[in-house]
């Protein structure tokens, strides 16, 4: 039997381009802005990513209230300023200074407090899955 030939009227499907490493931003320049607002100064938004990352700024003497992340491990890298990491499971607060790299395991309870200079840090964790509409009650899926 002869081999099937592609239909010349149907264009061949183009292969997807290969992923390319890229420079995303200068976190030191973003964190050094004198009027940096509180909150996320930058977010990883590239399509197809498997990670989420943020550059977060806390103004002087402000913080992130005590909370527990039940699902995701988080890496936190301090890029500017100073502060402290507090946890009810730890007797002493962990001082945070530029260059400090912290692991925040899933299930851990923590609070961040910025010092008098403010605190800017990068967080990186596995990307959360998008919201999905489920059918039926949780026990019947």
* Contact predicate 127/50, CB 8 Å: yes
* Contact predicate 94/83, CB 8 Å: no
Q: Which residue has the higher pLDDT, 35 or 104?
A: 104
What architecture (CATH level 2) is domain 31-126? Sandwich (2.60)
pLDDT of 105-133, one tens digit each? 999 999 999 999 999 999 999 997 665 56
What percentage of the chain carries pLDDT values higher than 90? 54
- Strand, helix or coil at 29? helix
pLDDT-based confidence at 9, cuts 50/70/90?
Answer: low
Q: Which pLDDT score, from 0 to 100, does residue 73 have?
A: 94
Residue-averaged pLDDT of the chain: 86
Lowest mean pLDDT among 9-13, 79-83, 98-102: 9-13
Structure token digits, residue 5: 């030939």
Rounded Cα–Cα distance for residues 110 and 108 (Å): 6
**What does the pLDDT average to over 37-64?**
92
Q: Which pLDDT score, from 0 to 100, does residue 19 have?
A: 81
Q: Which pLDDT score, from 0 to 100, does residue 76 have?
A: 97
Query: Is the predicted pLDDT of residue 137 greater than 70, yes or no?
Result: no
* Contact predicate 113/99, CB 8 Å: no
Q: Which pLDDT score, from 0 to 100, does residue 13 have?
A: 79
């Amino acid at each position: 039997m002869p081999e099937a030939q592609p239909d010349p009227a149907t264009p061949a499907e183009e292969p997807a381009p290969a992923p390319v490493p890229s420079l995303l931003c200068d976190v030191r320049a973003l964190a050094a802005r004198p009027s940096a607002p509180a909150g996320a100064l930058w977010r990883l938004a590239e399509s197809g990513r498997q990670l989420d990352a943020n550059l977060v700024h806390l103004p002087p003497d402000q913080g992130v209230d005590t909370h527990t992340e039940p699902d995701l491990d988080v890496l936190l890298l301090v890029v500017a300023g100073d502060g402290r990491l507090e946890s009810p499971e730890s007797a002493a607060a962990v001082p945070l200074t530029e260059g400090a790299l912290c692991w925040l395991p899933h299930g851990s309870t923590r609070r961040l407090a910025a010092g008098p200079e403010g605190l800017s840090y990068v967080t990186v964790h596995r990307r959360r899955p998008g919201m999905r509409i489920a059918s039926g009650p949780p026990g019947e899926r």
